[in-house]
Amino acid sequence: MRYPALADEVFTGKIDSISEYIEPQSKSFEVVCKLTSGSEILRPGMFVNVSFVIDSKKNIYKLPLRALVGTDRLWYVDRSESRAKKLNFKPIFFDDDFFVVSDGYKDLDFIIEGNSFIYDSQPVSVIDDDLEKDGENIDKEILDESKVTDKKRQR
> In terms of domains, do 60 and 21 share one?
no
State whether 33 and 63 are in the same domain.
Answer: no
In a domain, 47, yes or no: yes
Return per-residue pLDDT of the chain as tens, 155 residues: 787 777 778 888 888 888 888 888 888 888 888 888 777 787 777 777 877 777 777 888 899 999 999 889 999 999 899 999 999 999 988 888 889 998 889 889 999 888 888 899 999 887 765 544 444 444 444 443 334 333 333 33
> Can you spell out the DSSP letters for 86-112?
EEE----SB-SSEEEE-GGGTTSEE--
153, part of any domain: no
Tally of structural domains, the chain? 2
37 and 62 share one domain? no
Give the domain range for residue 118: 55-147
Residues 50 and 82 in one domain: no
**Residues ≥6 apart with Cβ < 8 Å to 95:** 146, 147, 148, 149
Residue 108 identity (one-letter amino acid): L
Q: Classify 5 as helix, strand or coil.
A: helix
pLDDT, position 92:
84
What is the per-residue pLDDT for 55? 74
According to the model, what pLDDT value does residue 57 have? Answer: 76
pTM of the model: 0.54
- Alpha helices for the chain (secondary structure H): none
| pLDDT at position 128 | 62
Q: What's CA 70's distance to the chain center, in Å?
A: 17
pLDDT at 18: 87
Of 54, 70, 87, which residue sits at a domain end? Answer: 54
Going by C-alpha positions, the residue among 86, 53, 93 that lies closest to residue 70 is 86
